[in-house]
Structures are given as structure tokens and as C-alpha cells.
């Protein structure tokens, strides 16, 4: 049986409430005068009933006690009714006292006011709760409910319970609240028992729980991961309540309670930024961001916009993503001090015009080709974009007196095994060397994979899961460092603000993650069973791909900074003339598209560059 769609009209609820008030005052007189009605009582009621009903009706209209659905009455609704009845009784008492001052007689005996107050409160609240109980007993008898536990025992958790009651009807049954702070065990919330966190596993087994809803704000990432692991163990689906800011008109909807995302399981504690230092660095200045339409570039735009720059120049050759970012800035972020410029960092004429016209003070260089297998097959383009493009933009930065130039690099530049990684390492060397004799401060930031970026492993796995599989992984032992896009960009801004020039900043990427473990978690979060619903296939390492990534090479070590998650790589300086000559030689061969010659020159610039799973491995045999 399903619940009816129609509900009791509001005017009818209002009239029933007035009828309850009429009964209450009559019954109060009946009790006060020992169940006997005489002429005095009847005459008194002729005056009292109109007055009392007028006051009660007015208070009901003002506080809209009739507006809610009776079958979803919550503790908050009961509290509001109690307050409304109290207000009405106080108003009647005041009228009584004023009347007594003038006529030395009470309209309503005080004892009757007290009795009426209690009877009215009890019947108004009790009738609603009785209707709610009757509704659930009638319309949920034949329905199969899902047993749920809400992790949380405060107002946030109470809102979730009321949302489930209001939006989902009879599909869910909340069996328990879990108090993460272990302070309220034995108490009840919304009529449901509260338990300490150490009882969670026992309750999951006892009630055969199907879902756990995490309903606490700013939960510690480590604690969230433990909860999810426990859910995996008992085949329980973990759900998350979104931030209050995202609620529609301040009201939580059941459709907003979503499954935990894999990105959330890889999050760490929030990064503490020196916002004042970053603001001093960016406020009132013109900032140029290359690759502004990409995953990192666009997030840099969003975050820099908060620090009141004079203008942000969005420079990229991807038209559609730039258009989308333009709309987002205007319509969602409400930031308007920006200019969109379509162009490539390899177009020296176009790039020069950008510097001439906008005169940027700070450059964030995020434009790069990043896909390892594609660049392994197209080394000319990798060098053209990642090396020549960096050379163009950085030399213009020096020529036009840019104060600070921050380049986004990658952990694949460390002991590179691929064309992509090697091209980024050459770009690092070039700007470090340029820094030695320049007033522009050149800074490099180096980090691992970012979650959810275009073409990264998580969106790929999601697509494969949606298609029913299989999930493809190159090797069962392959691992990667991960960081969220906002995290990475926050650290880029922090490093950029603290940099004096010449540094390579590396970020604390946390623990390296096994890709197969990541895939297994994503399968479980999707409610699927590995081996039954979906398979994992191993395809072999791709050209240029490593099993493990590194943040430092064998000759580098680190220097700590004031920020615990940012370190400086201690790297050797290069002789400028030699570096510039080597890179010029590399770029001279570029138009000839002689791939083996190009890669051979790259290996001369970077002696530690050893190709893996690549046709260029034969170049390493003569080393």
C-alpha cells in the first residue's frame, strides 16, 4: 500500500484546532466547578469563549501552526505549538489582569486559565502525534523499510531524520543515532535512541542496516574513512549530507543526501593558508593565468578571484571551456574583473600582445600537455608546448618586468621516464636558470596527480563503472600520489606568496595510493560487487609510464618552510650558457620532426631521463 498524495486542507486543520480550544475551555470549567454546570458557569462561558477563541485563532494565524503536514509532525513542530499556546495564555492573563484593575473582577478565573493551558497543549500536540503514528501504522504495514543509522546526535542529525520522514514517506526506518563524541548515550532524539560510537558495528549487525548517513559538520577525513571501511565490511551504503550552504532555500532535501564520493575518501584535513600573505601578493594586481581553462588553471582563477586582484587574464586556446568559465565567473562567482584571451603560449606574437596590453604583475603558468602515452607518441608537440611555450612566456615575463612567475610542474619531472615528464623537467631547469640573472622571481611548484582533473583516472573509472565495466588498470602494483584540485591550487598560491625566486616547491602528497585499491573502493561505493557485477582487467604499462612516482630525484633533498605541507627541493644550479645552448639546439631540431634526435638531446640535458616501456629505450643502451 502506498501513502496517499492528498493531505488535509489547512483550513480544516485550523478549524479542528479551534474546536480543540473550545473543548479545552469548556472542559476546564467543567473540572474547576467539580463537573457541575450552573447558571454562573453558562453566563461566564458566553463571555469567555469568544474572547479565548479570538486570541487562540489570532495566535494560530500569526504563527501558522496549521501550515505543516500533520503526518510529518516533528519535535520542532511540537515545540512551536507549545510556544503558541503559551503566548496565547499569557495574552489572556494580561487581559484578565487589566480587566481586574478596572472592574475588580476576573473575566476568567486564574485556575481555569492554568487548566485550559495544559489541556490545550496536550490535546493539540498529542492529536498531531497520534495522527502521525496512525498514518505510519496504516501506510507502512505492508511496505518493506530500509534500516538506517544516522551518524550524529545533534541538530544536524535531527534535521536529517525529519527530512527522511518528510520526503521519503515510509521507505526508511531510523534505528539509531550515533553520538561521535560519546556524550549522550541513553538519551533520545526524535524518539530514537542515541548510542556511543563503539556500538556502531554491533548495531549494523543487529538491525541489518542498509545505509549509514553521516550527519556531522566538518567530519575528520580519517574518521570518515574508518566509517566507510566499516560500511564496506558489512555491505552498508555510506551517505553524506551536503554543506548547509547548498540546501535549497535553507531546507535539506532527501535528493541532496548522496553517496560518499571517492574524492572525499582521499581528502585530508583542511589546509591552513596564510591568507594575509596571499592577499598582499595578489590584491590590486594584474594576474595572467596560462592554461586558464584547464583543471588547475580554472581552479586558480576561482581562488585568486577571492583575493580582489585588479584583473585576471584568462589565457588558453580551448574555446568552449573558456566560455564555460566565463559564464561561471559572471553568474555563479559574481566576479567581473577578468578578460578572456584565446591563444597559445607557443604563439610568440599573440603572447607578446597580451603582455603589452595588460602588463601583468604575476604569471601563473599552467598551460601544458600532460598525458604521458600521447606525448610519448608525439614528442615534437610535447617539446613545442611544454618547453618552447614555457620559454616564450618566461622570456616575455622578464622583458616586461613581471614581478613573479609561478610554474605548475609535476612529479613526473623527477627521474623522468617519459617524454612528458622530461619536457616538464627541461622547463623547470630553464626558468630556474633564467632566475639567476633576472629581477623576475621564477618559482616552480611540483606535485602529483589531482583528483578529478580532465582525463585523470577517477573520471575514467566512473565512466567504466557506469558502462558496466570492465575497469582497466595498467598494472596491479601501480601507485600514485593524489591531491584534490582545490588543495593543489591552495598550496600553489601559498608557495607563490612565500617564494623569493629559484625555488622548486614540493607538496606533502600524503600516502601513495594503490590504483587497484582505488578501483575496488569505487566499485563498492557504487553498490557493485567485484567479480559478480564488474571485472578489473590489467592492460600492461603504457609507453613512458612508471609503477611509482617520486617527488625528489636521487640527488635532491628538502628544506622545510613555515608551512608543514610545503617543502623546498634542494636542487643543483645549472650553468646558464650551457643550459640555454642545449635548449636552443633542441628547439632547432624541432621543425625537422626527428623524434629520436629530439629525445636524444633531451637525455643530454637530463642525464637521469631513462625511458620506460617506450621505443626510445634503445637510446639508453649506450649510456
Which CATH number belongs to the domain containing residue 296 in this structure? Answer: 3.40.50.720
**Residue of 107 and 359 predicted with greater confidence:** 359
pLDDT tens across 139-168, in order?
Answer: 554 456 788 888 888 888 888 888 777 665
DSSP strand pairing (211-214 vs 237-240):
parallel
- Does any domain span residue 542? no
> Are 362 and 499 within 8 A, CB to CB?
no
**Residue of 472 and 142 predicted with greater confidence:** 472
- Does an H or E element contain 409, and which? strand 404-410
Q: Residues 606, 607, 610, CA angle at the centre, nearest 5°?
A: 95
Half-sphere exposure of 533 (CA within 13 A, CB side): 15
Among 139, 173, 200, give the residue marking a domain's end.
139
Please report the pLDDT score of residue 1 as a whole number. 35
Same domain for 378 and 494: yes
> Are 593 and 606 within 8 A, CB to CB?
no
Same domain for 283 and 415: yes
Q: To which residue does cell 559574481 refer?
A: 334
The boundaries of the domain holding residue 588 are 275-450+482-507+551-617
Task: Single out the residue of 422, 396, 413 nearest to residue 605, CA to CA.
Answer: 422
- Does any domain span residue 133? yes
- Does any domain span residue 514? no
pLDDT tens across 74-100, in order?
Answer: 677 788 888 889 998 899 889 888 888
- Does any domain span residue 193? yes
Q: Helix or strand or coil: residue 572?
A: coil
- 307 CA to centre of own chain: 21
Candidate ranges 32-36, 213-217, 384-388; pick with highest mean pLDDT: 384-388
Separation between Cα atoms, residue 514 and residue 536, nearest integer Å: 14
Same domain for 403 and 287: yes
Q: Which three cell numbers stand for residue 26?
A: 469548556
- 154 CA to centre of own chain: 21
Separation between Cα atoms, residue 67 and residue 115, nearest integer Å: 26
- Does an H or E element contain 513, and which? strand 513-514
pLDDT tens across 413-444, in order?
Answer: 888 989 999 999 999 999 999 998 899 999 99
Q: Helix or strand or coil: residue 547?
A: coil
pTM as predicted: 0.68
Separation between Cα atoms, residue 474 and residue 537, nearest integer Å: 8
Same domain for 498 and 349: yes
Please report the pLDDT score of residue 2 as a whole number. 40
**Count of structural domains within the chain:** 3
Overall average pLDDT of the 262-267 stretch: 72
In terms of DSSP H, where are the helices of 104-170?
Answer: 110-139, 155-168
> How confident is residue 3, by pLDDT bands cut at 50, 70 and 90?
very low
Amino acid at each position: 500500500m502506498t501513502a496517499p498524495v492528498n493531505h488535509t486542507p489547512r483550513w480544516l486543520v485550523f478549524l479542528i484546532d479551534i474546536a480543540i480550544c473550545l473543548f479545552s475551555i469548556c472542559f476546564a470549567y467543567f473540572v474547576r466547578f467539580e463537573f457541575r454546570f450552573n447558571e454562573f458557569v453558562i453566563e461566564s462561558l458566553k463571555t469567555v469563549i469568544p474572547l479565548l477563541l479570538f486570541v487562540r485563532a489570532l495566535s494560530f494565524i500569526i504563527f501558522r501552526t496549521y501550515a505543516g503536514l500533520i503526518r510529518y509532525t516533528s519535535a520542532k513542530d511540537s515545540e512551536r505549538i507549545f510556544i503558541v499556546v503559551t503566548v496565547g495564555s499569557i495574552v489572556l492573563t494580561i487581559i484578565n489582569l487589566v480587566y481586574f484593575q478596572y472592574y475588580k473582577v476576573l473575566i476568567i478565573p486564574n485556575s481555569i486559565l492554568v487548566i485550559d493551558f495544559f489541556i490545550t497543549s496536550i490535546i493539540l500536540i498529542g492529536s498531531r502525534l497520534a495522527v502521525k503514528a496512525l498514518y505510519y501504522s496504516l501506510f507502512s504495514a505492508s511496505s518493506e523499510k530500509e534500516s538506517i543509522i544516522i551518524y550524529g546526535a545533534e541538530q544536524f542529525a535531527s534535521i536529517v531524520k525529519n527530512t527522511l520522514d518528510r520526503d521519503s514517506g515510509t521507505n526508511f526506518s531510523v534505528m539509531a543515532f550515533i553520538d561521535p563524541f560519546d556524550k549522550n548515550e541513553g538519551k533520545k532524539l526524535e524518539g530514537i535512541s542515541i548510542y556511543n560510537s563503539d556500538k556502531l558495528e554491533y548495531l549494523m549487525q543487529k538491525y541489518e542496516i542498509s545505509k549509514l548517513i553521516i550527519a556531522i559538520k566538518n567530519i575528520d577525513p580519517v574518521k570518515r574513512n574508518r566509517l566507510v571501511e566499516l560500511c564496506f565490511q558489512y555491505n552498508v551504503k555510506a551517505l553524506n549530507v551536503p554543506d548547509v550552504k547548498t540546501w535549497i532555500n535553507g531546507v535539506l532535501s532527501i535528493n541532496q543526501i548522496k553517496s560518499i564520493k571517492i574524492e572525499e575518501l582521499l581528502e585530508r584535513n583542511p589546509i591552513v593558508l596564510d591568507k594575509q600573505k596571499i592577499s598582499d601578493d595578489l590584491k590590486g594586481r594584474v594576474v595572467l593565468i596560462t592554461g586558464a581553462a584547464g583543471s588547475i588553471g580554472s581552479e586558480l582563477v576561482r581562488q585568486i578571484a577571492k583575493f580582489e586582484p585588479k584583473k585576471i587574464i584568462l589565457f588558453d586556446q580551448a574555446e568552449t571551456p573558456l566560455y564555460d568559465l566565463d559564464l561561471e565567473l559572471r553568474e555563479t562567482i559574481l566576479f567581473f574583473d577578468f578578460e578572456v584571451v584565446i591563444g597559445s603560449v607557443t604563439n610568440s606574437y599573440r603572447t607578446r600582445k597580451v603582455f603589452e596590453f595588460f602588463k601583468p604583475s604575476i604569471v601563473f603558468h599552467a598551460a601544458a600537455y600532460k598525458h604521458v602515452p600521447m606525448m610519448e607518441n608525439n614528442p615534437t608537440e610535447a617539446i613545442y608546448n611544454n618547453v618552447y611555450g614555457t620559454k616564450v612566456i618566461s622570456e616575455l615575463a622578464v622583458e616586461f618586468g613581471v614581478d613573479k612567475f609561478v610554474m605548475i610542474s609535476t612529479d613526473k619531472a623527477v627521474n623522468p621516464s617519459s617524454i612528458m615528464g622530461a619536457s616538464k623537467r627541461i622547463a623547470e631547469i630553464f626558468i630556474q636558470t633564467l632566475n639567476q640573472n633576472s629581477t623576475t622571481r621564477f618559482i616552480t611548484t611540483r606535485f602529483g596527480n589531482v583528483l578529478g582533473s580532465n582525463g585523470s583516472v577517477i573520471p575514467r573509472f566512473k565512466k567504466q563503472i557506469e558502462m558496466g565495466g570492465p575497469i582497466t588498470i595498467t598494472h596491479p602494483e601501480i601507485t600514485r600520489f593524489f591531491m584534490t584540485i582545490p588543495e593543489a591550487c591552495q598550496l600553489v598560491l601559498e608557495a607563490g606568496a612565500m617564494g623569493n625566486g629559484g625555488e622548486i616547491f614540493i607538496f606533502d602528497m600524503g600516502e601513495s595510493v594503490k590504483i587497484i585499491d582505488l578501483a575496488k573502493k569505487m566499485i563498492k561505493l557504487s553498490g557493485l560487487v567485484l567479480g559478480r557485477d564488474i571485472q578489473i582487467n590489467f592492460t600492461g604499462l603504457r609507453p613512458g609510464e612508471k609503477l611509482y612516482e617520486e617527488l625528489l630525484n636521487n640527488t635532491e633533498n628538502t628544506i622545510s618552510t613555515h608551512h608543514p605541507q610545503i617543502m623546498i627541493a634542494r636542487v643543483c644550479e645549472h650553468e646558464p650558457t650551457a643550459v640555454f645552448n642545449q635548449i636552443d639546439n633542441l628547439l632547432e631540431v624541432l621543425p625537422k620532426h626527428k623524434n629520436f634526435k629530439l629525445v636524444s638531446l633531451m637525455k643530454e640535458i637530463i642525464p637521469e631521463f631513462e625511458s620506460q616501456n617506450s621505443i626510445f629505450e634503445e637510446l639508453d643502451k649506450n649510456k
